[in-house]
Amino acid sequence: MQCRDAQFYLRLRRPAGDELGADVAADLDRHLADCSMCAPEAHAAQSFDSAVSAMMRSIPVPASLRDKLLVQASTHHGAVIRRKVYRLTALAASLLLVAGIGFGVFSVSRPKIDTTDMVMHADEQLQNPDAALSQWLTEHKFPSQLPLPFNTDLLVTMGTERVQGSNIPVVVFRHPTELGFAKVYIFRADGTTNLSSLRDTNASLTMASVIEGPQYRGVKYVIVHTVHPVHEGEQPLKPFLRVPGNTARL
């Protein structure tokens, strides 16, 4: 440590508590032990501080003044504590208010499930499935009728199904007498999905038929249905369709 640094640190050294830190204090003590210029100044400063400290301790403090100082110190300490309590209380109130507002917004934004509405919707579908299907198609901006005359008495659901990462509208019909189904998927030909690989295909229990054309106003239909025995030359979807020439509900 250089003398210039030692002179600086000596101004910061206090007898009641050394704020220099252990490393700096040790370096300063080593410098003072070897430096004939800084050591006398350090000794003089220490002697002066000791004398002032002894003099202050020797002066009696009146009891009234001591009590007054203690009261003032307690009052100041209490005010500090009260301010902290007030700040914490205000912060807690703010957090509760924010949480309350958030819960209120969440409560308002949550959909309210009404079983009466669910029952009425199902009842309307049973009473007039043709109108229910037409309305659903129109609401989704599709042609109001499917490309084939499906028997709406076999209608099960109208909704969406997750198909390869996209929610695709689908209408589901049941088989009239056996375990089976026909699902009519409706794809918009607007570029939102890649339809280049759509084609007729089949497996052991199901098959798929693609129906498209300008008359269908920018949509393509993929009908996936279970395979059932039919007479040669008959439509594979015959079990799910209305009897030709009969437009009335069966």
Please count the structural domains in the chain: 3
Q: Is residue 41 part of a domain?
A: yes
Q: Is residue 125 part of a domain?
A: yes
29: domain range? 3-58
Residues 6+ positions from 145 with CB-CB distance below 8 Å: 134, 137
Q: Which of 58, 81, 99 represents a domain boundary (last residue)? A: 58
CA distances from 203 to 51, 137, 225, 244 (A): 106, 29, 10, 28
Q: Is residue 13 part of a domain?
A: yes
CB half-sphere exposure, 115, CA atoms < 13 A: 0
Has this prediction a pTM greater than 0.75? no
Residues 6+ positions from 207 with CB-CB distance below 8 Å: 200, 201, 224, 225, 227, 236
Q: Which of 58, 78, 94 represents a domain boundary (last residue)? A: 58
The answer to whether residues 149 and 235 belong to one domain is: yes
List the chain pLDDT tens, one digit each, 250 residues: 778 877 777 777 666 555 667 787 788 788 878 888 878 877 777 777 776 667 766 766 676 666 666 667 667 666 677 677 677 777 777 777 777 776 666 666 677 788 888 888 788 888 899 999 999 999 999 999 999 999 999 999 999 999 988 899 999 999 999 999 999 999 998 888 899 889 999 998 999 999 998 888 889 999 999 988 777 777 889 999 987 665 444 3
The answer to whether residues 20 and 128 belong to one domain is: no
Q: Is residue 53 part of a domain?
A: yes
Q: Is residue 51 part of a domain?
A: yes
Q: Is residue 250 part of a domain?
A: no
The answer to whether residues 106 and 48 belong to one domain is: no
